Amino acid sequence: MPIAKSEIRWVDEPPMRTWEAIYLPAILDGLRTTVRHMFAPKITLEFPEQKPQLPPHFKGVHRLNRDEQGRVRCVACYLCATACPAHCIDIVAAPSPWPDREKYPEVFVIDELRCIYCGMCEEACPVDAIELTTLYDLTGYSREEMLFDKEKLLAIYDYTVGKGTERVRTKRGSLGPASEIIAPDHTISGFSDDRL
Amino acid sequence: MNWTTVALIIFVLSFLQATCAYLIYLERKVAAWVQDRKGPNRVGPWGLLQPIADGLKFLFKEQVVPSHVNLVLYFVAPSIAVVTTSLAFAVVPFGPTDAPNQSGLRYVIAPNIDIGLLFVFAISSLNVYAIILGGWSSNNKYSLLGALRSSAQIISYEIPLALAALGIVCLAGSLNLEKILNMQAQTGLRGWFFWYQPLACLLFFVCALAESNRLPFDLPEAEQELVGGYHTEYSGLKFALFFLGEYTHVITVSFLLSILYFGGWHLPGIAEYGVHYPGAELVKLLVLWVKVAIFILLIMLVRWTLPRFRFDQLMHLAWLGLTPLALLNLLMVMVVQHFELDYWLLPVSTVGILVGGFTLLTSRELTKVPTTSEV
């Protein structure tokens, strides 16, 4: 529906008066702002020496969580690989050596260069096995180096656990055998959750 | 030719270039501070070695010469930019001028040139050749377009610049920069031409910004809008030469501003005319340089205060704003001089001209913004 003529209200620019027309007051005003900013505290973070304080919901490098027995929590359900829009998760499932679950991931590789760090994998995970950490300065010399396998992802867990920057994002209560085992008093995230 | 002059030329040239290098550093620092950043701080303490790193980078970069350029003019253009701006400095006194100096040093390359100011304007006007030749020899449409509008700008702003300075020439009765300076110094603080020519000082400052391609008049460069303007096809050291020219121009202009309007090395109390206490020479030198530094800093701050003009606004300001004001100012000086009126009439009438002139200008049809009903 077109806008009715009666609803249109034209607003004109106010005409310039002498004070504005001589420009100088406005320029002086601008200079004052410039000078004020010159002496204002600087917001630059000198990176290699100073590290940023990232919020816990920052989406950085992945990690694979361990349960309280130190085993990988993943049950190789492929939900993360399915949810991944970038198809960067590669899982090969195998029969679990432990009695409490059917499968475990024999191979679990994330291509960190393909990943878009959207966090869909951790949302999809029914057992809170995959999580994004606050590690952001991810570098490597080759593409192969950036394919993070299970051991590396578990190592990232070991490196980041208990550092206070982590949080289990998806807490859906008991979903399967793997999640039931850890549910009552899991301390992976460094604090207990009353809801569980 | 005597060897003092040669030594002085070498000293001044190297000093100018070192200063230019550090002006670029200062420019980046000021830009950073204004934007709440810290600026270059990685090379050396506080980033002080940054200009050296930049210079080395320019020096060792591959000298790209596009195959379609007019080779001779292509190489001549950046040299003109540097030569003209450096040459203009020859008559500018950069230290005390109330001879005899105790140290026997001379603070101007070519002393007592009676056409001083004219020489500065004549030589720095040649700078437009650097731009137009740079644009022309590149054989590139964008370079040429950039060069065209730059030369239009520079030529337009030369008129109010010269007219503004003519007021001083009328008052002082001389084009000799040292005489103009000494005249102010002899009268004391009251003698600074700024008090008699505030409008001209403002006009001079504005035109000087335009002449040296500084924001808000940096259409020749306009990094964000153009492909690059007249220096699109230039890289490495040749590109650096254009910038060297620009920064030398900024220095020269700041010197001229302090000398013409703010008494040069004169400061009541510590740097008076004909007062020769031990170290007076150094104090006078420092006073002048501090004044120059203040103007350079102001020019840099203006860069981060004002947005760039549109081209029509630029021309409008020069021809309908600054030129009539400069002419009125000159007329005022002439009237006061001819009828031997009191000098205090000058600043008073300046305010009248400024307010009246701009009101008149903005009420014109030309500048009127059409209202929406008219559209």
Q: CB distance A38–B34 less than 8 Å?
A: yes
CATH fold of the domain at A62-182: Alpha-Beta Plaits (3.30.70)
Closest CA to A122 of A106, A110, A139: A110
B89, part of any domain? yes
B45, part of any domain? yes
Smallest Cβ–Cβ distance between B359 and the set A18, A42, A44 belongs to A18
Q: CB distance A46–B359 less than 8 Å?
A: no
Distance separating alpha carbons of residues A43 and A37, to the nearest angstrom: 11
Q: Does A82 score more than 90 pLDDT?
A: yes
B372, part of any domain? no
Tell me what pLDDT residue B293 has.
93
Q: Are residues B228 and B176 in the same domain?
A: yes
Cα of first residue to Cα of last residue in chain A, in angstroms, is 54
Tell me what pLDDT residue A174 has.
46
Smallest Cβ–Cβ distance between B36 and the set A18, A35, A40 belongs to A40
Q: CB distance B306–A39 less than 8 Å?
A: no
| Mean pLDDT for the stretch of residues B141-146 | 85
B370, part of any domain? no
Tens of pLDDT, residue by residue over B317-339, are 888 888 888 888 888 888 888 88
Q: Are residues B11 and B67 in the same domain?
A: no
Q: Are residues B214 and B277 in the same domain?
A: yes
Distance separating alpha carbons of residues B155 and B368, to the nearest angstrom: 26
Tell me what pLDDT residue B291 has.
93
> Of B60, B80, B110, which closes a domain?
B60
Q: Which residue of A has its CA nearest to B363?
A: A16
Which span out of A67-71, A166-170, B118-122 was modeled with the highest average pLDDT? B118-122
Q: Are residues B107 and B234 in the same domain?
A: yes
Tens of pLDDT, residue by residue over B99-136, are 666 666 778 888 888 888 899 999 988 888 998 999 89
Distance separating alpha carbons of residues A85 and A89, to the nearest angstrom: 10
Q: CB distance A18–B34 less than 8 Å?
A: no
Q: Are residues B239 and B299 in the same domain?
A: yes
Smallest Cβ–Cβ distance between B36 and the set A21, A37, A46 belongs to A37
B133, part of any domain? yes
Sketch the domain layout of chain A as residue ranges: 62-182
Residue B362 touches partner A, C-beta closer than 8 Å:
yes
Residue B373 touches partner A, C-beta closer than 8 Å:
yes
SS3 A90: strand
Closest CA to B205 of B298, B311, B116: B298
Q: Are residues B227 and B159 in the same domain?
A: yes
B375, part of any domain? no
pLDDT band for position B96 (50/70/90)?
Answer: confident
Residue A36 touches partner B, C-beta closer than 8 Å:
no
B56, part of any domain? yes
Tell me what pLDDT residue B189 has.
82
Q: Does B292 score more than 90 pLDDT?
A: yes
Lowest mean pLDDT among A6-20, A148-162, B214-228: B214-228
Tell me what pLDDT residue A31 has.
92
SS3 B99: coil
Q: Are residues B112 and B213 in the same domain?
A: yes
Distance separating alpha carbons of residues B347 and B330, to the nearest angstrom: 12
Contacts 24+ apart (CB under 8 A), B316-322: B316/B366, B316/B367, B318/B153, B318/B156, B318/B157, B318/B159, B318/B160, B318/B210, B319/B156, B320/B361, B320/B364, B320/B366, B320/B367, B321/B357, B321/B358, B321/B361, B322/B157, B322/B160, B322/B203, B322/B206, B322/B207
Smallest Cβ–Cβ distance between A12 and the set B35, B301, B372 belongs to B372
Q: CB distance B34–A37 less than 8 Å?
A: yes
Tens of pLDDT, residue by residue over A83-107, are 999 999 999 999 988 888 889 999 9
Residue B122 touches partner A, C-beta closer than 8 Å:
no
Give how many domains chain B has, as a whole number: 2
Smallest Cβ–Cβ distance between A34 and the set B34, B37, B38 belongs to B34
Residues of B in contact with A15 (CB under 8 A): 369
Residue B1 touches partner A, C-beta closer than 8 Å:
no
The DSSP symbol for B374 reads T
Residues of A in contact with B358 (CB under 8 A): 18, 21-23
Lowest mean pLDDT among B115-124, B159-168, B181-190: B181-190
Kindly state the tokens that stand for A127. Answer: 């057992």
Q: CB distance A39–B359 less than 8 Å?
A: no
| Mean pLDDT for the stretch of residues A39-52 | 87
Q: CB distance B354–A34 less than 8 Å?
A: no
Q: Are residues B72 and B170 in the same domain?
A: yes
Q: What is the DSSP string of B6-69?
A: HHHHHHHHHHHHHHHHHHHHHHHHHHHHHTT-----SSSGGGTTHHHHHHHHHHHS-----TTS
> What percentage of chain B has pLDDT greater than the value 90?
17
At B278, give phi and psi (nearest 5°). -60, 130
Tens of pLDDT, residue by residue over A100-128, are 888 999 999 999 999 999 989 988 888 88
Kindly state the tokens that stand for B88. Answer: 């203009």
Q: Are residues B199 and B66 in the same domain?
A: yes
Tell me what pLDDT residue A8 has.
87
Tens of pLDDT, residue by residue over B24-34, are 899 999 999 99
> Of B15, B30, B60, which closes a domain?
B60
Domain, as residue range, for B38: 1-60
Q: How far is B140 from chain A (nearest CA, A)?
A: 37
Q: Does A185 score more than 60 pLDDT?
A: no
Helix intervals (H) in A57-189: 79-83, 120-124, 150-160, 177-182
| Mean pLDDT for the stretch of residues B343-350 | 73
Picking from A18, A28, A47 by the largest number of B CB atoms within 10 A of its own CB, the best residue to mutate is A18
Q: Are residues B53 and B80 in the same domain?
A: no
B334, part of any domain? yes
Q: Are residues B315 and B168 in the same domain?
A: yes
B228 Ramachandran zone, left/alpha/beta (phi>0; psi -120 to 50): left
Q: Are residues B29 and B110 in the same domain?
A: no
Distance separating alpha carbons of residues B67 and A141, to the nearest angstrom: 38
Q: What is the mean pLDDT of chain A?
A: 81
Distance separating alpha carbons of residues A115 and A98, to the nearest angstrom: 31
